[in-house]
Amino acid sequence: TTPDALKQELNPKFSELFEELKIYSHREFEARNEIKFEKYSTVIDIEARVLADIARNHIIPAALNYQNRLIENVKGLKEIFGDKEFKVLGKEQISLITQISENVSKIKLGVDELLKEKEAAKNTTDTHKQANAYCNKVKPLFDVIREGSDALEMMVDDELWPMTKYRELLFT
């Protein structure tokens, strides 16, 4: 991980080499390393805020909009067909509605946890501990949100999806 790699930079053999070659003093060497830890934390903090914003304000609303369309479709099927036929004909739409709900819930819970962990990391005063918190507690939550978002991307109608889909990136 980046924090582990940055800790390795503090190995005395590296700082001694920079001092011996009169590139940096020991203090300058440590300061530059400290700045790298701060930069890492800042970048992960920004990425977490952007991810939370996109998930809350774009992905979830698009998924719910599509889900509402499906619900209307299912209601229409139920009105037109009898219970026996409806159970067969509406099965896939109902399954899709359920999957959308599960993924929206996964994303919502992931965003809530992400923001909680991000604030905890941000309030850590030691830059090394802060970078570790961002790396080990905040960044893994990106994957949780991404999994739910990727699943929804495959389900939601192209017209309703607010961003470019992966396949569109590959073939345009």
Tell whether the model's pLDDT for residue 172 goes beyond 80: no
- When pLDDT is averaged across residues 94-118 and rounded to a whole number, the result is 97
Q: What is the DSSP string of 124-147?
A: --SHHHHHHHIIIIIHHHHHHHHH
Cβ(133)–Cβ(117) under 8 Å?
yes
Query: For residue range 31-62, what is the model confidence (pLDDT) as tens digits?
Result: 999 999 999 999 999 999 999 999 999 999 99
Mean pLDDT value across residues 163-168: 84
What per-residue confidence (pLDDT) applies to 164? 86
Q: Is 84 helix (H, G, I), strand (E, B) or coil?
A: helix
pLDDT mean over 125-149: 96
CA distance to 31, 49, 170, per residue, from 43 (Å): 18, 10, 27
For residue 169, pLDDT beyond 80: yes
Q: Name the more confident of 84 and 52.
A: 52
Q: Angle of helix 139-155 relative to helix 91-122, nearest 10 degrees?
A: 160
Assigned token pair, 137: 């507690």
**In 10-90, alpha helices (H):** 12-20, 26-54, 60-80, 83-89
Q: What is the pLDDT of residue 87?
A: 84
